[in-house]
């Protein structure tokens, strides 16, 4: 039987936030974050063929999230990058930002991969609205 080289810890590490390129006195980019997010290796991989996240036994890096607020002259908007993508999308819903439909995941660059971005599909409208009110619905038809 093999023994783990990693000692278990009593701490439950939720996440690590890193703030880089935040030097007030410098305008130089020390690390190009847009390049780094695409090349940084993550232990959990998204399997497109099976629509699932492939996990590893001893994960070190499970999720990469990069949110950015883009400000131009008169407008501003948010971008988001999540690898592996977030999801799966709730049953009978689709994302109004990336247009993916359940049980798919949001796209990697979906700007708002959140529940408030989801809307019901026609099938969802049938199951959650019409069918749940089926007794009243059929009474109204008669």
- Which residues lie near Zn ion (CB under 5 A)? 95, 97-98, 106, 110, 113
**Least separation, in Å, of the C-beta of 112 and Zn ion?**
7
Distance of CA 139 to the CA centre of its chain: 42
CB atoms within 10 A of CB 97: 17
Contacts of 90 (CB under 8 A, 6+ apart): 102, 115, 118
Pick 43 or 90: Cβ nearer Zn ion: 90
Pick 46 or 97: Cβ nearer Zn ion: 97
**Least separation, in Å, of the C-beta of 107 and Zn ion?**
6
**Least separation, in Å, of the C-beta of 69 and Zn ion?**
18
Q: Is 135 left (phi over 0), alpha (psi -120 to 50) or beta?
A: alpha
Contact 88/51 with Cβ under 8 angstroms? yes
How many whole angstroms separate alpha carbon 108 and alpha carbon 85? 5
Pick 42 or 101: Cβ nearer Zn ion: 101
**Least separation, in Å, of the C-beta of 111 and Zn ion?**
8
Contact 130/137 with Cβ under 8 angstroms? yes
Pick 69 or 116: Cβ nearer Zn ion: 116
């Amino acid at each position: 039987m093999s023994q783990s080289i990693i000692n278990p810890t009593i701490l439950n590490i939720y996440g690590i936030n890193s703030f880089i390129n935040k030097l007030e006195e410098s305008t130089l980019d020390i690390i190009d974050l847009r390049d780094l997010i695409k090349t940084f290796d993550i232990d959990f991989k998204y399997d497109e063929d099976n629509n699932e996240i492939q996990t590893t036994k001893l994960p070190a890096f499970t999720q990469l999230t990069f949110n950015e607020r883009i400000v131009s002259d008169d407008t501003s908007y948010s971008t988001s990058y999540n690898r592996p993508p977030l999801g799966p999308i709730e049953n009978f819903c689709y994302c109004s930002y990336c247009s993916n439909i359940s049980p798919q995941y949001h796209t990697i660059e979906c700007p708002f991969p959140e529940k408030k971005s989801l809307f019901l599909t026609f099938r969802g409208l049938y199951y959650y609205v019409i069918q749940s009110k089926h007794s009243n619905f059929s009474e109204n038809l008669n």
